[in-house]
Amino acid sequence: MKKLVLVLALALGSHVVMAEAQIKEVCKDKVDKAGKPVLDKDGKPKQECKKIKVHKKYEGTEIPADKKK
């Protein structure tokens, strides 16, 4: 029984590792209240960067129109 529990735990544990999200950095220009870009010392627009998680999208079978509500 202990071996069965161990095998199930390992199987579920490896599945969780495979579904891990990737981290991507997204940057966009800063703007002031008037909508103009904020410039730094060099005259280039300042950027706000955020790190977001990107999950893999799974392709599935299409649902027929008569089943959709």
What does each of the 69 residues of the chain score in pLDDT, given as a tens digit? Answer: 877 777 777 777 654 445 577 899 999 999 999 999 999 999 999 999 999 998 877 777 777 777 655
- Let me know: does 49 contact 23? Beta carbons within 8 Å: no
Dig out the tokens for 30 from the structure: 């800063």
The confidence score (pLDDT) of residue 61 equals 77
Residue 12, in any domain of the structure: yes
Identify which of 55, 57, 47 has the alpha carbon closest to the alpha carbon of residue 23.
55
Sign of the torsion angle spanned by Cα atoms 29, 35, 39, 43: positive
Residue 65, in any domain of the structure: no
The domain of 35 spans 2-54
**Domain tally, the chain:** 1
Residue 60, in any domain of the structure: no
The confidence score (pLDDT) of residue 17 equals 45
Q: What angle do CA 7, 54, 11 make, to 5 degrees?
A: 5
